[in-house]
Structure formats: structure tokens, C-alpha cells
Structure 1
Amino acid sequence: MSDSAQDKTLPATPQRLKKARDDGQVARSKDLLNLAVLGAGSALLMLALPLAFGLLRDGLRGQLRFDRAAVVTPEVGLQRAMDAFGQGLVLYLPLGVVLLVFVLAVAFASGSWTLSTKPITPDLSRINPLSGFGRLFSKQQLVETAKLSVITLIVGAVGWQFLSSHLGDFSSLVMQPLESGIGQLGRWMMAGVAGLMVTVAVVAAIDFPVQKFLHKQQLRMSHDEVKREHKESEGDPHLKGKRRARAREIAQRMSIKAVPKADLVVMNPTHYAVALRYDEATMAAPRVVAKGSDMLALKIRDVAKDAKVPVLQSPMLARALYAHAEIDQEIPSALYTAVAQVLAYVYQLKAALRGEGVMPAEPVPQVPQELDPHYRKPAAAGT
């Protein structure tokens, strides 16, 4: 069964969320941005209104002045137009920049931003009529259509209520002086914009969590998708095993340098070699300083002989140490007795070579059979 046919009931994983964000898919509330544009734009216009009226008055005064210079020199009119355009830029350009910064700040604060070129990358599937027809009836598109319909009805009702309550006052504007009429019209516009802002604020407060919810619903995953993502992130187990084996091999090759510092090398007799070191003052138990198999084991043996490090043939102990002990780590507690026996043999051997005792007999270390990787448990009778 394909992923598309399965119920996607699992929440999106952090990796899925990150990939969606890299692709430009984030929860974005258009109504929240509309509120930011409307609110910040209205506030900036209110603050800049005295300056704007002053610039507009001066501009009109200059444009409506006709003198001999304007008639004789046509370039004067063009210069005046350019001056008026420059005055407009001085006012509107800073307002636009401040508004843009505010809208970007709202987008950052709400998490509705991402740095991605994926949304603007050409994609032929976006112009596929069948895909487009399917998106028209998607859950998110149906919610968006219903939301726009409700907003249109609410804004229309608010606008109609405002106009109907001020219809008589609008008709009386023509009877008022120009200055007071413009002031009254400005107050009415402020009231109308304030009502519109309240409406958009209520819609944005509802729409923002709804868009978050729909975004999470859209990114939900099936069990197979989670398993496949986990496998991709963790890597193929066979490849991981090969990488670990390669890392162990490199560590074993590097450990040969520590063989001259070892107290003893245990061999099997050519397949495995493990170099041990024990310092009673600094170590709680003997440590493995080097180990290897086959050719590497022979190399450890040769280095040990050149450094006059004792080499003991003990196949079962060598196999157990190679299988259960790691380089630069203490030996397993189950092998303490066996290693103590061989270390005691080494110390007695060194003392005998110095003429301080008799030559000891080679020990037979007591190694638990279950620690020997070559040990096979006998089959039960009757099976």
C-alpha cells in the first residue's frame, strides 16, 4: 500500500519540519500580515499627516503659480514637477521602508518566514491543470475560501453599518466650510479604518492558530514514512557495520605503537594477539593497549619481540580478550582471574631471568567457556 493511501496519523518529525521549512512551507497567516500592514500604515499616516498636508500645500502653491518665467521658459514647469515628485519621495519613501520593516518584524515574530528559493524555482507541475484542479478542492483551500467568504460578509456588514449611520452627515459636508469639512471627513475615515482594523484583528486572532493547525495536519506522516526517514537518517545497517569495522581496524593499526609499553602479549598463536598493560598505582584493572588479528597479530608479535615484551601462547584467553575487550579499556571482570594468572607468570619469569627465583611453569588460564567466541554449547539430548 502506498503512502498516499495510508492514514497519516503521526505528527511530523523534526526532520520533516526542517525539510518543509527549507522548501518554503511554513504556517503563514495572510490576515495577520494584512493587520500589520493596515495597522502600521494607518499609524504612520496619522503621524505623518501634518507634514504631508504641509508638503501638499506648498507643492500645490508652487504648481499653481503662473508668472512670466513659467510662460517664457517651459523648463520651469518641468522643474517644478520634478521638485514636487522629490518632495513626495521624501515623505512616502521613508514611510514605505518603515512599513516594510514592521511587516517583516511581524513575520519573524510569528515564525512565518523562511530563507528558501524553492517557492520561486520553476516547476512544471505547478502549471499542470489536473494538479491545480486537485488543489482547488483541498482541505486548506476550502478553509481559505470559507474564511474569505466570512470576512467579506463581516467587512460588508461593518461598512454598511458605518455608511448608513453617517449618510446624513455625509450629505451635510457640502454645506460646511472646506477646512472644517476636510477635518470632519478625516475623523470619519479614522473611525472607519479603526472599525476595519478591529475586524481584521479578530479574524487574524482566529486565523493564525488555524493556519498552524492546518500546517501540522498537512505535514502528518504515515508509519512507513517515519520508518523510511529513520532509515535514511541513521543509514543502511550494513554500511554502518562496515564503517564501524573499518574504524576498529584503523584503531587497531594505530594501537601497535603502544605495544612496547605493554607488560604482556597474549596470542592464539597467530590468528589473534592482545597486548596488556597493568600499573598497580594508576590502574584499577589491566588494560588492553593493542589488539589485532591475522597479519596485524603477527605485526604485534614482532614489535613485542623487538621491544622484549613477553609473548604468551594462550589461544582461549587471546580469543576471549579479542572478542570482549576494547583498546584502551579495562578487561572484563570475568577475565580478571585468567589475566592475573598470566601476569603473575610474567612477573615470576622476569624475576627468574634476574636470578631472583626459579623458572615458572607456563600457566593454564581459567577462562570461562562462554567468553570464548569459538565455544559451541553442546546440543541438548534428544534434539
Structure 2
Amino acid sequence: MAESDSGEKTEEPTAKKLTDARKKGQIARSKDLGTFFVLVGCACAMLLMGGSLAASIAQMMKRLFSFSREEAMDVNALFKIIDEGVTLIIAPMLWIFAIVALAAFVGNILLGGMSFSWAATAPKASKLSPLAGFKRMFGVQAFVELIKSILKFLVIFIVSYLLLSGLFEEILGLSRESIPNNFAHATTMLLWMFLVLALSIGIIVVIDAPYQVWNHAKQLRMTKQDIKDEHKNSEGSPETKGRIKRAQYEISQRRMMAEVPNSDVVITNPTHYSVALKYDAAVGGAPVVIAKGVDQMAIHIRTIAKEHNIEIIQSPALARSLYYTTEAGDDIPEELFAAVAQVLAFIFQLNEHKKGKAKRPTAIPKTLPIPDDFKY
């Protein structure tokens, strides 16, 4: 009892808890994963489209600085030259923006998926509270972010040192190359160094992404009492559900008892089970079970039947079979047609005999044709 009443969040979040958290925008997110994809995407975009962009810029600059005196005196010609220059760089710039945007999108939905929540953008008083801000500054999350920042610095510092050491001779050799080849060589070298540095952040991402998933699950953990309360709120308390079920049962029993006077026969075993049947010859079809009961309910059915002069037939095997294979309002199973037909035939002949229109029918056989699968 002490464990169940404790406030320790030891239980995994339920499906409803996870769904509610997602609606509020509370999902696992790694900022470093998004940053990693953006930086790598930017480096790849520059390596793929950098040459085309540089050539377009060079062509644009050449055109801007080579117009004639007549063009310089013509405003329309100047705007045309500017328009031609801008047009040259639009295509490579759009490709670069598209690659970076795609990388940013993938990096931000890779962990936690897509989530659109207005609740996450709503203002919160806790964010304006100095006390809450102080707790965030010196809390566990702030400490984790500090450790991550230190690790980022160390990783980038070490990788930068290794790159510069390995490329030191090649960097010095740029001074011996001719212009503009040395500029192209230096740009390519810088882009590859940028790509390697961006990829080095993956070391942090490999640590941060699993941590964010674990921390998110930890924040959503529930106490045993939380699970009980959630179950109670979503499905109702066991006491309330019990009262509703009892009320529904009582209503159904009253409705069933009200149909007993309309039955043609009540079949009993003779003490524990009672089943009331009705057959409408005008409509046809199969006989219908309109009421059934066991023990006290069975006695009640027989009492009502006696009050309304409904014939009561003792057939233990048939009574048990009907009780266990049907519900009130069901047609009797096809396998029991022959047995029930003998009972109904006896009842109809007995009613004719009471009216003086026929002789007294012979008694129902003690053994009725009931399949072995329907014997209880």
C-alpha cells in the first residue's frame, strides 16, 4: 500500500498521456540534431552549388563593371543590367536554400515526428516568473546544457586542430599558387573543413538524441495513483460503472419479466432454470426466447406464468440448453428446432383440448432430440 500511495513516478506513460502530451507540443526534440542537419546541409549545398554560384557572381560583377558610357547615362539600361545580374545568381541561390530548408525540416522531425500545437505557443505565466527562471538556470537541464556546450567546444577544438595540422603544408602552399586558382583552392578547402566540422557535431548528437528521448519519457512518467485517476476519469470509477451496470441489469430484467405473460410456454428443469418461449404462427420463423432466468429469477418467471395461466413444461435438458445458448429476444438455435417443436405441438394440442376441440395429447417424451453439443 505504501508503494502504491507514494508519489514516485515509476510507471511508464500511458497511451493517453503520450497523446495529450503531443497535443500540448511536448515531444522529444534535440536542438543539436536540427543544428547538425542544417550545418551539414549547408556545407553540402555549398560544395554542390558553390562553383555555380561563384561563376554566376563573377559573371554578374563583370557585367556590372563593364557597362558603357551610354548605358551609365540611361536609367532603364542600368536597371536592365542589374536585373540581368540578379537573374544569374537566382538559380544557384534557390538550390542552396532548398537543400538547407530540406535538411532543417528533416533534422527537426527526425526525432519526435511532426507536431503542430497552439498550446505550445500560448503564453505561460511560469516563463515570466523570476523564481521559475532561477530554477531553470540552476536546474538539472541547465547543467546538462552546460556539459553539452563544453563537449561541443572540445570536439570542435580538437577537430579544428587536427584539420589545421593535417592541412598546414597545403595552406602554406596557397601563397605559391597563382590568382585566381589559389582563391578557388582555398574556398574548396574551407568548404571541406566546414563539412568535417559540421559532421563532428554528430558526436554530440549521438549522445544528445537518446538522452532527449529518455528525458522526455522520464518527464511523462506517472505514479500508480496517476494511472488510477486517468482510468477513472476516462472510463468512470468502478463504483459508478458497477451502479450503472446494476441499473441496466435491473431495467432489462423488469422488461423481460413484463414479456413473460405473452409467452406460449415456460420450460423448466424444474427448479434452477426457466425459459419462456413464444411462437407466432402468423408471422412464421423460429420460436423466440422472451425471458430466461436461474434460481430466484427462474422462480419469478414460473410465478408470473402461473398467474397468467401459461403452461409450464418440465424438460431439464432442453431448459439448460436454451438457457446457455440464447439471450432474451433471440431465436432458438436451429439445432433445437425439433425438440422445441415437440413441446409447442403439445402446448397447442393441449390448448385445443381445453377448448373441447381435440382429445388430450400424449405426454412429451422424457428424452427430446437434443444434439450432444447442446447438452449442458
Q: TM-score, with normalisation over the residues of structure 2? A: 0.68
Task: Please name the residue that 1:44 is paired with.
Answer: 45
Q: Distance in 1 between matches of 2:39 and 2:147?
A: 22
Q: Deviations over 1:300-350 (max 9, x none)?
A: xxxx9xxxx974699xxxxxx99xx9533699xxxxxxx9xx979845633
Task: Please name the residue that 2:155 is paired with.
Answer: 154
SS in 1 for 2:201: helix
- Is 1:230–2:235 an aligned residue pair? no
Q: Deviations over 1:257-301 (max 9, x none)?
A: 9989953479xxxxxx9853489xx98xx863369xxxxxxxxxx
SS in 1 for 2:289: strand
The number of residue pairs the alignment matches comes to 322
Alpha-carbon RMSD: 4.6
Task: Please name the residue that 1:298 is paired with.
Answer: none
Q: 1:251 to 1:187 in 2, by over 3 A?
A: same
Task: Please name the residue that 1:327 is paired with.
Answer: 328
- Name which of 346, 352, 356 aligns with 2:358: 356
Q: 1:94 to 1:195 in 2, by over 3 A?
A: closer
Provide the identity percentage: 28
CA shift, 1:229, in A, is 0.9
- Is 1:90–2:102 an aligned residue pair? no
- Any conservation in 2 of the 1:8–1:221 contact (CA below 8 Å)? yes
Q: Distance in 1 between matches of 2:230 and 2:139?
A: 26
Gaps (5+ residues) in structure 1? 267-272, 292-303, 315-320, 332-338, 361-383
Task: Please name the residue that 1:7 is paired with.
Answer: 8
SS in 2 for 1:188: helix
Q: Read off the aligned partner of 1:211 and give its amino acid letter.
A: Q
Q: Deviations over 1:199-245 (max 9, x none)?
A: 11222122211111111111111111111111112123455456556
* Structure 1 residues 226-375: aligned runs within 5 Å: 226-237=227-238, 239-241=240-242, 244=245, 262-264=263-265, 275-277=276-278, 288-289=289-290, 311=310, 326-328=327-329, 346=347, 349-353=350-354, 355-358=357-360
Task: Please name the residue that 2:118 is paired with.
Answer: 117
Task: Please name the residue that 2:202 is paired with.
Answer: 201
Task: Please name the residue that 1:181 is paired with.
Answer: 182
- Any conservation in 1 of the 2:264–2:279 contact (CA below 8 Å)? yes
SS in 1 for 2:117: coil
Gaps (5+ residues) in structure 2? 268-273, 293-304, 314-321, 333-339, 363-376
Q: 1:198 to 1:102 in 2, by over 3 A?
A: closer
Q: TM-score, with normalisation over the residues of structure 1? A: 0.67
CA shift, 1:16, in A, is 0.9
Which shows bigger deviation, 71-80 or 30-39? 71-80
Q: Read off the aligned partner of 1:199 and give its amino acid letter.
A: S
SS in 2 for 1:159: helix
CA shift, 1:75, in A, is 4.4
CA shift, 1:185, in A, is 0.8
- Any conservation in 2 of the 1:31–1:204 contact (CA below 8 Å)? yes
Task: Please name the residue that 1:33 is paired with.
Answer: 34
CA shift, 1:56, in A, is 1.3
